[in-house]
Structure 1
């Protein structure tokens, strides 16, 4: 009996242990780890969100379009937000920007009855657990973004199956930049968004609003967004080379950007213009010795070095050539940016001024040794410009003339003494005119003619007796007047260059191609890309 009672006691303990093990095992099977086996959670102590999450994703396949019938089209509606234009790279022809999309679509497999879940109408799910529409940026500069725009943000789902997905992006897209009018250029970048695989028969994209939302937009220091001409639309494109031909729905974002040119004008254009004017005026300042004229060459070299430093400051940022739609126009004069042409003209003006100064030095050192002034220089200096160019004062010349000819001042030549005597006698006769008023008018006219002849004779005698130093003075007058003409010409040329730089509509006609895309700075220039000569 003792053995039987002991056996019964051990059997009872074993049964108690077995029952406790079964209870603990059933309790573990009713926890949230049961979702791994896709078993329903019906215990009331399990959170409602876990039960709803488990029930929604029990048979869900995120790699398949969430439609009951394969021919059903999923309509994806979106709102577009733009945050910032980060950069436009004229060298790589790209635009960097940031923004976000809010996508809305209906998922037939994410629906439930709120009554079965204590009135729960919404739930947040991970975007990695459900189907997300393929949405890509065409012509992206980065391959991974060209495949698909993705975000790890959660999605918001309500009981009717409507899904809201927030998709921020910061991307770099290709954009053909026309920098012909740099730094006054206007750029238009077109960004295309859509699906690579799904055509309109499976996914159709549309806009919730046709307005580009700029609520959280931050301005760029260099570029200003023209919100009046920037827009976003949805459109479909036919790919007729497919069999059968299919339409692809795309979201087209057109951004019109205006460059802020004040930085370039204030820091580059104005200093360069001032340097050019100072150099031109310095080249044409009057000098009294050959050393001062030689210093002008050093001024020209220093000016060219200053312009070179300014060019080095912008050569990295300044685009090389305008990417014209016509390949023939690339790399030619028509593709030079406006500021590059402006600096080229300024350098040409400084170089020409240096050459002109060297010509003046040559005239002063060599040509003045000749006995006469060439007729063309005399015509240019005295005959044409006597009325509007100032003449060199002759006081210094008179002093030099007397200093070099002291004997002439002490004892005038006999011819001049005779002329002076005749003139004094004539003047005496003229003083007695009132007393001898009865004389005839013929005698008076003859007297005046004699005075005129005497003055002409004295003048010719003075010219003949003029020392050789007068020729040097005339050469100085010629050179000075030529310098004034040159200074006026170069200052006028600088003014015209600056005027044409700021009022640059004339540059539209240079290198215009009717086969290319119209420049936004030249809306009046007609283009016909479909013309037969364009192919």
Structure 2
């Protein structure tokens, strides 16, 4: 009775074993006895050679304030593990199979300049590597990453940025793991264009550093991007440019109209309100201050000078105190410098000349002539300054 029971158990076990799927038997065989913390090398003095390739899927955001770049990437890791090789004929011709990443050895590869607590390739949705019958292991972890990026916004919004994704090892030095890249460019086969940034070029470099007499190497995947400036030109630069030239129209308006100061203040307030609206969209950096911010400061100063000069010109034009007034003296002093004639003086002695120059009619005429001339000179001067600084700004950001 006992013998028959034992025979039945053996038959059931053999039947259940033979009923297993080939891939299940493969996993049982190749993963049996493997320690995921032991490097897959027979000679412990040699490193594990890991090939690293980076696939750029998209550039999500470039944050000028945080000096960071958010992007979606895939990383392809390849290495050989002799313990995972098998004969395909024993397992139904299976040539490759996915295995749990925590059951085999995986390199401690991570993005060294990644921002956040969840660093490393284990914190991804695609963490299970694929093993081939030759023992070659492929791992394609993909994730959205935020990495540090040295951002130079001096030429905003016509700037180009160069961000680096540093792929290296966390604790293993080069004697344990040797990383390399077979290509000189970042793979952009699956790249999706960004609405704000245009991909210009990519590059791959190799870097090594010494730490406590140990060598640590890393691959630098460089991404060069250019800001698409059409939106910023239409919504930020062009309105400011048009409003800046409106200031010059204040000098065209005649003083008799009584609207010069009102027009200047209306333009200046419009400019101030617009600056408050676009201020949050400008990069806030003191290290690399955008040239456009300096251009806005210049336009603000130009608007203040326009209002100040118009106030002085109108005060000179409508001088209520013609006799013995500092404005009258100023007009008489400046008139020859502006090429204005004081008019014929037919008096015989100096006392009559002085009396003529201080008379109300004479002072009134000279003050108005000087005011009109100053209005013209200041208008051309402001226009020349505005043109010079505007042309200089566009030449600087496009060189």
Q: TM-score by structure 1 length? A: 0.65
Deviations 1:20-42 (A, max 9, x none): 8656644554576xxxxxxxx4x
Q: 1:115 Cα deviation (Å)?
A: 3.3
Q: How does 1:47-86 map to 2 (within 5 A)?
A: 47-86=21-60
Query: Which runs of 5 or more structure 2 residues have no equivalent in the other structure?
Result: 347-355
Residues 491 and 27 of structure 1, relative CA distance in 2, 3 Å threshold: farther
* Alignment gaps of 5+ in structure 1: 1-14, 33-40, 324-334, 387-455, 458-463, 506-520, 523-535
Of 374, 385, 391, which residue of structure 2 is paired with 1:493? 385
Task: Tell me the residue number matched to 2:149.
Answer: 175
1:123 to 82, 97, 118: 97
Structure of greater Rg? 1
Q: Alignment partner of 1:251: what SS?
A: strand
- SS of 2:138's equivalent in the other structure is strand
**Aligned twin of 1:296:** 260
Checking the alignment, whether the CA contact within 8 Å between 1:136 and 1:149 is kept in structure 2 is no
Greater helix content: 1
Equivalent in 193, 202, 205 of residue 233 of structure 1:
205
User: Is the 1:179–1:337 Cα contact (8 Å) retained in structure 2?
Assistant: yes
- Note the alpha carbon deviations across 1:146-199, whole angstroms, 9 max, x for none: 586645343221221011111212100111222222223222222211111111
- Asked if 1 retains the 8 angstrom alpha-carbon contact of 2:61 and 2:70, the reply is yes
- Alpha-carbon distance between aligned partners in 1 of 2:190 and 2:126, rounded to the nearest angstrom: 22
Task: Give SS of 1:248's match.
Answer: strand
The 3 A distance-change label for structure 1 pair 165 and 191 is: same
Q: Would the aligned equivalents of 1:222 and 1:260 in 2 still touch at CA under 8 Å?
A: yes
Determine the C-alpha separation between the residues in 1 that align with 2:260 and 2:4: 110
- Count of aligned pairs: 382
Structure 1 segment 127-138 matched on structure 2, within 5 A: 127-138=101-112
Q: 1:209 aligns with which of 183, 193, 198?
A: 183
Q: Which residue of 1 aligns with 2:349?
A: none
Shift of 1:49: 1.4
Q: Give the number of the structure whose residues are more often strand, by fraction.
A: 2
Q: Distance in 1 between matches of 2:96 and 2:225?
A: 41
SS in 2 for 1:144: coil
C-alpha spacing 1:47/1:354, structure 2 compared with 1 (3 Å): same
Are residues 1:318 and 2:292 paired? no
1:348 and 2:301 matched: yes
TM-aligned CA distance change 1:368 to 1:223, over 3 Å? farther
Post-superposition offset of 1:342: 0.3
Structure 1 residues 142, 270: closer, same or farther in 2, change over 3 A? same
Measure the CA separation in 1 of the matches of 2:109 and 2:263: 62
1:256 paired with 2:224, answer yes
Summarize deviations over 1:254-274 as a string: whole Å, max 9, x none: 222222233222211221121
- For residues 382 and 217 of structure 1, the distance between their equivalents in structure 2, rounded to whole angstroms, comes to 67
Contact 1:193 1:250 in 2 (8 A): yes
Alpha-carbon RMSD: 2.9
Where does residue 427 of structure 1 map in the other structure?
Answer: none
Contact 1:137–1:148 under 8 Å retained in 2: no
> Structure 2 vs 1, CA of residues 252 and 149 (structure 1 numbering), >3 Å: closer, same or farther?
farther
2:235 is the counterpart of 1:271: no
1:84–1:217 CA contact under 8 A, matched in 2:
yes
Q: CA deviation at 1:354?
A: 0.3
